[in-house]
Amino acid sequence: MANPKQPVVRMSSITKHFLDVTANKNITFNLYPGEICALLGENGAGKTTLMNILFGYYTCDEGEIFIKEEKVNLSAPKDAISRGVGMIHQHFALVPSQTVLENIIIGADSGKGIFLDLKSARQELLQLQERFGLQIDPDARVWTLSVGEQQKVEILKALYREVDILIMDEPTAVLAPAEISDLFSTLRSLVKEGQSVVFISHKLNEVMDISDRIVVLRAGQVVAEKKTADTNTRELASFMVGRDLLEIIEKKTLNAGQPVLEIEKLDALNDKKLLALKSLNLVVRQNEILGLAGISGNGQKELSEVLFGIREPIGGLIKIDGGRLKFGNPAAIIKSKIGRIPEDRIDTGLLMDLTVEENLILENHSSSEFHRYGLMKSRKIHQFSEDLISAYDIMTAGRDAVTKSLSGGNLQKVMLARELAGRPKAIVASQPTRGLDVGAMEYIHQRILQERERGAGILLISEDLDEIFALSDRIAVLFEGAIMGEAHGEEASREQIGLWMSGVKK
């Protein structure tokens, strides 16, 4: 419901530059009490920047902010929190070795004195849990919690600080379907009590489901503002990218060739030293995409880590293009010419403090193309990186820009550009479009299909069933570390795949 009341937040004519980039340009944004307002836009459109300004993490170059009708000067997050604004980033800021309760009370300055009364803090936490349906054991250590549970801790942490304006930056990107519906009921109970939520997401169906109002940014400006009831996903997509998207992915009929990735009886442990992969068998052939569906936590992370050379399995074997892979040797993996698109581009994919060019040539730098008599051929390298930047349409100030200045979608493009430059025979793509806008997602899907046509075999590990169905020639379901079932792409039904995902074998 758009609210006739006074806005609880009024951001007026906000402009923010980063060197040459204008991340926000004369943006006016209002948030009303009791509403969920979705903030949409392509990667790099300026969503996170705008919310970081409201959270006092960045200061704007121009513009004014009013919170509860008072003009404010936010120079640090603590200023925002003291006015009731909380923000939950995608990368949580919890201390893994501490308990839920400890995490919630650390740093909370609520006039409760230096000597925290643990008993009353616990009491208060339990009341909040009851009120908002956020069930979680206050004494559990954070490292033992799933991502969805950790997110609940972040929300409780905000509520404990008496936040009534909650910003969530892509909260569902890391959640399983059941966790998403849990989060949505929490958000609904928050706004029922008069709180306000800013919800950033790239998933248009979710936005249609949860929001009351939608604001769309493009290239740092507001391009549309709509009541959710008055719009639809197709219109939103075209506001975001400024064009209509291809509706259906064109997929050529190809015959699968020789196996390029063979996994036999693979056993691997997880971080808790429990068996996460149990005698796993998989084959991916040339010219085919094998979609590996499943709810996260069933071994996906461990499987991709083994394939990316950062986790050593305890049994089994892997063959790339017929050659047996030596475990525990990341250099061998790089040499094996497996294209690796990891799920966490920040932790495992890219070195954020290096330049875009340095990331693009990482792994390709030993190629004879780039050096002679031990000297790097810098002109060739510059050409190589500039070609990739333009081929992949990477939005950056240039090849010398520091990688961490890129937006999520552009980071993923850098990753893809680097990994596919070596024309790998086997590609492992783990959640390749997580966190990407619809335009970037379409681009990456096209790119993966082109690789299939080129002759690569692709293992697509994804929790997004739409993605799995759109791209896969075959679909296998990972459940508790083993394959629960497998079907041909055209013959598979969602019901069947869904049953396998929940461990039901027919």
| Pick 48 or 201: Cβ nearer Mg ion | 48
Q: Around 224, how many Cα atoms within 13 Å sit in the side-chain half-sphere?
A: 20
338 binds, among Mg ion, ligand ATP, none (CB under 5 to 8 A by kind): none
Number of residues that bind Mg ion (CB under 5 A): 1
User: Rounded to whole angstroms, how far apart are CA atoms 400 and 245?
Assistant: 32
The site for ligand ATP (CB under 6 A) is made up of 18, 21, 23, 41, 43-49, 395, 405-409, 437
- Smaller CB separation from ligand ATP, 175 or 483: 175
Burial letters for 329-349: b for 16+ Cβ neighbours within 10 Å, e otherwise? eeeebbebbbbbbbbebeeeb
Minimal distance, residue 456 CB to ligand ATP, in Å: 26
Which residue type, as a one-letter code, is found at position 42? E
Phi, psi (5° rounding) for residue 353? -90, -5
Asked if residue 30 binds Mg ion (CB under 5 A), the reply is: no
Q: Give residue for tokens 């909370």.
A: 108
CB of 128 to ligand ATP, least distance (A): 29
- Piece in contact with Mg ion (CB under 5 A), picked from 43-51, 141-149, 311-319, 328-336: 43-51
Per-residue CA distances from 418 to 11, 342, 388, 390 (Å): 39, 12, 8, 13
- Minimum separation from the CB atom of position 408 to Mg ion (A): 6
24 binds Mg ion per the rule CB under 5 A: no
Tokens of 371: 């050096």
Give whichever of 50 and 100 is closer to ligand ATP, judged by the CB atom: 50
In angstroms, what is the minimal distance from the CB of 200 to Mg ion?
Answer: 7
Q: Which does 44 bind (CB under 5 to 8 A by kind): ligand ATP, Mg ion, none?
A: ligand ATP
Cβ closer to Mg ion: 84 or 171?
Answer: 171
DSSP state of 141: B
How many CA atoms within 13 Å lie on the side-chain side of 106? 12
One symbol per residue from 137 to 176: x for binding Mg ion (CB under 5 A), - otherwise; what is it? ----------------------------------------
Q: Are 356 and 400 in contact (CB under 8 A)?
A: yes
Q: Which is nearer to ligand ATP, 154 or 437 (CB)?
A: 437
Which does residue 489 bind out of ligand ATP, Mg ion, none, counting CB within 5 to 8 angstroms by kind? none
> Cβ of residue 179: shortest distance to ligand ATP, in angstroms?
20
412 binds Mg ion (CB under 5 A): no
Q: DSSP letter for 402, please.
A: B
Interaction between residue 48 and Mg ion (CB under 5 A): yes
Smallest distance from Mg ion to CB 49, Å: 8
Distance (Å) of CA 56 to CA 61, 89, 138: 13, 14, 29
The pair of three-digit structure tokens given for residue 295, joined into one six-digit string: 């709810």
DSSP-derived secondary structure for 343-377: S-IIIII--TTSBHHHHHHTTTTTSGGGEETTEE-
52 near Mg ion, judged by CB under 5 A = no
| Residue 299 touches which of Mg ion, ligand ATP, none (Cβ within 5-8 Å per kind) | none
CB-nearer residue toward ligand ATP: 145 or 440? 440
Minimum Å distance from CB 436 to ligand ATP? 7
DSSP letters for 313-331: -SEEEEEETTEEPPTT-HH
CB of 169 vs ligand ATP, minimal distance in Å = 7
Q: Compare residues 145 and 210 and give the one whose CB is closer to Mg ion.
A: 210
With respect to Mg ion, which residue has the nearer C-beta, 109 or 347?
Answer: 347
Q: Closest approach of Cβ 65 to ligand ATP, in Å?
A: 17
Q: What is the DSSP string of 92-124?
A: ----TTSBHHHHHHTT--SS--SS--HHHHHHH
Instruction: Find all residues with CB under 8 Å of 246, minimum gap 6, and list them.
Output: 442
Question: 């390298």: which residue's tokens?
Answer: 381
**Nearer Cβ to ligand ATP (167/293):** 167
Q: Which residue is nearest to Mg ion (CB)?
A: 48
Contacting positions for Mg ion (CB under 5 A)? 48
